[in-house]
């Protein structure tokens, strides 16, 4: 079964690094170091014919010499040696390989294509499945298996599958810096064997993954993608950044991976059919994957804005309207109660402006009443000043029947502290109102899809 075939990529109990190097400038050193330093929970076998030990770990001249079972081979040697090494791995019963090495089909040379053909042949012979070649590896922080770079160890709910190692790394770095963390990362490379569809299928069943972000330039099999994505989106959100949308972009895709980018309109139609959420930038890929992983589902698209910053409230309002969401109409009861309890200079409308001297308690009062208003589905809660205690208020109201989306900006050191607290509690915070409203729009798109499908 497909899912089991790729499981060893992420969940191996023993990993060999073929081409592990003592030279710190080499990728074969960085990969081994990252696996060691990310606290890998299995056995590690550096393979290098010229070293007895690397980074304090006993090294072996070849895979054959390893006395134990090996589940995963990470390959970082020159391309011309790779087919032979995969052959050896197959003989040894290695289940899967990650082939970092470049120099195959992507070179556009007959030699490169021939090497890739031999590689595929060797793997098939033994039923060994591999990722790459020419890829930036895999990461599973839940097992401490960072067979990639940079070293990312923050465990979390976000998976990223990427045609670009850089996009994957950027996504991981943001998730680590924010304290949100990663469930799985896979960089696709040449996709000579395992492709984005195999990975998506696996991630759909991975309990550590709450949402899947993907950067793709082309899908390997459109029909299969829709079929698998439709199954996955039933249980967790899938967010896709697709490039190669313009003529020049499509040409660049052909040069990058030899794929046909295809019409973006057709892609959008396929995404809609499968419940996949399209996004338009790397930043949005991260924001939306994070939000869809962590936010509850709204009952409707009626948005109330609460803010200490009048300007941020207005900017949010423009975005809510222009993205096709709806500004909630506050009920008379709730309006009256708020007028009674809030200082007279607060503007009790939508946006609800608590003004610049608002403290956390005032937000609590506001949320307490807004939660009684049945017209409100989503509350974008903007902290626009240094407001200590913001995280506690959000925690109190998060996931209590309405969707609360916090935004924090302009708050200096207090902001950094409160944002950190929220992220560590698994609450997604956004740095600007615009970015938050885009996430809300995506959340509503996904929720509507599930409703339409009666899910």
Question: Exactly one of 1, 50, 110, 344 binds its own copies (CB under 8 A); which one?
Answer: 344
Calculate Rg over the CA atoms of the chain: 25
The whole-angstrom separation of Cα 442 and Cα 449 is 11
Of 381, 404, 218, 410, which is closest to residue 296 (Cα–Cα)?
Answer: 404
At closest approach, how far in Å is the CB of 373 from its own copies? 17
Question: Exactly one of 61, 324, 356, 401 binds its own copies (CB under 8 A); which one?
Answer: 356
Binding map of its own copies across residues 413-442, x = CB under 8 A, - = no contact? x-----------------xxxxx-------
Question: How many residues belong to the site for its own copies (CB under 8 A)?
Answer: 76
Nearer to its own copies, 12 or 390 (CB): 390
Per CB under 8 A, 4 contacts its own copies = no
At closest approach, how far in Å is the CB of 67 from its own copies? 33
The whole-angstrom separation of Cα 371 and Cα 377 is 9
Instruction: Quickly list H helices, 79-149.
Output: 82-92, 110-126
Per CB under 8 A, 245 contacts its own copies = yes
Question: Exactly one of 21, 183, 233, 309 binds its own copies (CB under 8 A); which one?
Answer: 309
At closest approach, how far in Å is the CB of 408 from its own copies? 10
Of 224, 242, 240, 229, which is closest to residue 275 (Cα–Cα)?
Answer: 229
Please give the residues from 90 up to 149 whose contact with its own copies meets the rule CB under 8 A.
102-103, 106-107, 109, 136, 149
Nearer to its own copies, 283 or 375 (CB): 283
Question: Exactly one of 243, 304, 365, 445 binds its own copies (CB under 8 A); which one?
Answer: 243
Per CB under 8 A, 154 contacts its own copies = no
Per CB under 8 A, 263 contacts its own copies = no
Residue 431 phi/psi, 5° resolution?
-85, -10
The whole-angstrom separation of Cα 432 and Cα 407 is 6
Q: By CB under 8 A, which span of 59-67, 191-199, 205-213, 339-347 interacts with its own copies?
A: 339-347
At closest approach, how far in Å is the CB of 267 from its own copies? 13
Q: Tell me the helix, strand and coil percentages in the chain, rounded to 5.
A: 45, 20, 35
Q: By CB under 8 A, which span of 13-21, 205-213, 226-234, 321-329 interacts with its own copies?
A: 321-329
At closest approach, how far in Å is the CB of 397 from its own copies? 21
The whole-angstrom separation of Cα 55 and Cα 19 is 14
Record the tokens describing residue 106, joined without a space. 């992507």
Helix (H) or strand (E) holding 391: helix 390-397
383 in helix, strand or coil? strand
Which residues lie closer than 8 Å to 81 by C-beta, 6 or more apart?
none
């Amino acid at each position: 079964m497909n899912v089991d075939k790729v499981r060893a990529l992420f969940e191996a109990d023993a990993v060999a690094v073929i081409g592990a190097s003592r030279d710190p400038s080499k990728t074969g050193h960085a990969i081994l170091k990252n696996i060691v330093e990310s606290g890998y929970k299995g056995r590690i076998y550096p393979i290098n014919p010229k070293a007895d030990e690397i980074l304090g770990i006993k090294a072996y001249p070849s895979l054959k010499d390893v006395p134990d079972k090996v589940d995963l081979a990470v390959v970082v040697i020159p391309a011309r040696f790779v087919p032979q090494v995969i052959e050896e791995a197959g003989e040894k019963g290695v289940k899967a390989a990650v082939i970092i090495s470049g120099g195959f089909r992507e070179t556009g040379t007959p030699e490169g294509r021939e090497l890739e053909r031999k590689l595929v042949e060797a793997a098939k012979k033994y039923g060994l499945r591999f990722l790459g070649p020419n890829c930036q590896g895999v990461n599973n922080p839940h097992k401490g298996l960072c067979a990639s770079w940079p070293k990312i160890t923050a465990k979390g709910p976000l998976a990223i599958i990427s045609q670009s190692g850089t996009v994957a790394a950027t996504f991981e770095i943001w998730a680590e810096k924010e304290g949100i963390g990663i469930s799985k990362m896979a960089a696709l490379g040449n996709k000579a064997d395992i492709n984005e569809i195999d990975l998506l299928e696996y991630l759909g069943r991975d309990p550590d993954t709450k949402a899947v972000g993907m950067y793709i330039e082309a899908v390997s099999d459109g029909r299969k993608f829709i079929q698998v994505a439709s199954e996955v989106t039933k249980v967790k959100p899938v967010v896709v950044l697709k490039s190669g949308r313009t003529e020049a972009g499509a040409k660049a895709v052909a040069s990058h991976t030899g794929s046909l980018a295809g019409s973006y309109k057709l892609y959008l139609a396929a995404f809609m059919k499968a419940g996949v959420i399209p996004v338009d930038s790397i930043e949005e890929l991260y924001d939306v994957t994070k939000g869809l992983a962590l936010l509850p589902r709204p009952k409707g698209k009626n948005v109330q804005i609460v803010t200490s910053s009048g300007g941020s409230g207005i900017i949010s309002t423009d975005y809510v309207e222009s993205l096709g969401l709806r500004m909630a109409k506050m009920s008379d009861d709730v309006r009256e109660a708020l007028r009674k309890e809030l200082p007279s200079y607060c503007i009790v409308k939508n946006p609800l402006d608590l003004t610049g001297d608002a403290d956390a308690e005032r937000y609590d009062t506001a949320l307490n009443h807004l939660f009684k208003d049945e017209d409100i589905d989503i509350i974008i809660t903007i902290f626009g000043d240094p407001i200590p205690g913001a995280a506690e208020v959000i925690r109190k109201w998060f996931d209590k029947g309405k969707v609360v989306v916090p935004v924090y900006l302009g708050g200096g050191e207090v902001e950094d502290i409160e944002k950190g607290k929220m992220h560590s509690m698994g609450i997604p915070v956004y740095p600007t109102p615009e970015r938050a409203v885009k996430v809300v729009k995506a959340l509503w798109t996904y929720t509507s899809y599930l409703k339409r499908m009666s899910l």
